[in-house]
């Protein structure tokens, strides 16, 4: 089960996401995550897929238990299968 404590160690595909902060205004969008590579994340919005660089955005992810988690995209820069091996220090605000 995905929780705020282990969200970085899970697959993000299928989660609803909203870009709340970005280095470029054109990156701000919301929708469902449909794909992920090492440096990019793909968000489907109104039938169109938008590819965004991970290191330039801050995401709000809606978890299955209706919890919202804010994640800096810089923490996500790696292949999804390699993120499982990493250790993270989590700071809640």
Q: What is the pLDDT of residues 21-50, one digit of tens each?
A: 999 999 999 999 999 999 999 999 999 999
pLDDT of residue 91: 63
CATH of the domain spanning 7-79, picked from 3.30.460.20, 2.30.30.210, 3.30.930.10, 1.10.3720.10: 2.30.30.210
Tokens 């965004």 correspond to: 52
CA separation for the pair 51, 4 (Å, rounded): 24
- Overall pTM > 0.75: yes
Q: Taking the mean position of all CA atoms in its chain, how far away is CA 31?
A: 11
Torsion of CA 41, 72, 32, 45, to 10 degrees: -80
């Amino acid at each position: 089960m995905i929780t705020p404590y282990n969200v970085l160690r899970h697959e993000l595909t299928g989660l609803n996401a909203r870009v709340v902060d970005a280095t470029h205004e054109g990156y701000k969008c919301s929708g469902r995550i449909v794909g992920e590579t090492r440096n990019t994340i793909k968000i489907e919005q109104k039938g169109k897929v938008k590819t965004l660089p991970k290191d330039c955005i801050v995401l709000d992810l809606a978890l299955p238990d209706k919890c919202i988690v804010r994640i800096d995209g810089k923490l996500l820069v790696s292949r999804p299968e390699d993120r499982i091996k990493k250790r993270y220090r989590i700071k809640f605000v």
